[in-house]
Amino acid sequence: MGKPGAGLLLAACLCLPPSASSAADAFPVKVQVDAAKSRGELKPIYRFFGADEPNYAYMKDGRKLLAELGKLGTPQAFFRTHNLLTTGDGTPALKWGSTNVYTEDAQGKPVYDWTIVDRIFDAYLQRGLKPYAQIGFMPQALSVKPEPYQHEWRPGLPYNEI
């Protein structure tokens, strides 16, 4: 017995691969969940969502998804994304995005441009979400080994090569 959904969580935990302990440490466990019996409202403890591609936020389907998440109500949902500091022109790609926040001029002096990040955060705010800023990934100009910079990944390629 427990909160609705607790049985699913427990079942997921029980399906984890066994640890390095020996078979002699194993013992039978019986878990019984009465999903028909309510113990009260399951209050949300977090409202965080996220994505790999920041530029998706202002594309048609991204705006639609953000709007649906924004309708979840109180407490207000947060949205975070990877690649907020990645160099590039804002062209989306799978497992990649770019904002061009930081570059350097010919003399090596920093050049900051928040245009694309503002566009991304505006897309969140306009749809009822709060931006949750994840500071990453490294701008190309700050890398000691800048090439290759953008990986190539698409479905079917080995994920561990990203």
Closest CA to 79 of 54, 104, 44, 42: 54
Bridge partners for 111 per DSSP: 103
Instruction: Indicate the helix (H) or strand (E) that contains 57.
Output: none
pLDDT of 112-146, one tens digit each?
999 999 999 999 999 999 999 988 899 999 999 99
State both tokens at 11.
């079942």
Question: Mean pLDDT over residues 47-62, rounded?
Answer: 93
- Its pTM surpasses 0.85: no
Mean of pLDDT values over 95-104: 94
How far apart are alpha carbons 21 and 60 in whole angstroms? 50
Does the pLDDT at position 4 exceed 50?
A: no
Closest CA to 116 of 70, 142, 93, 85: 85
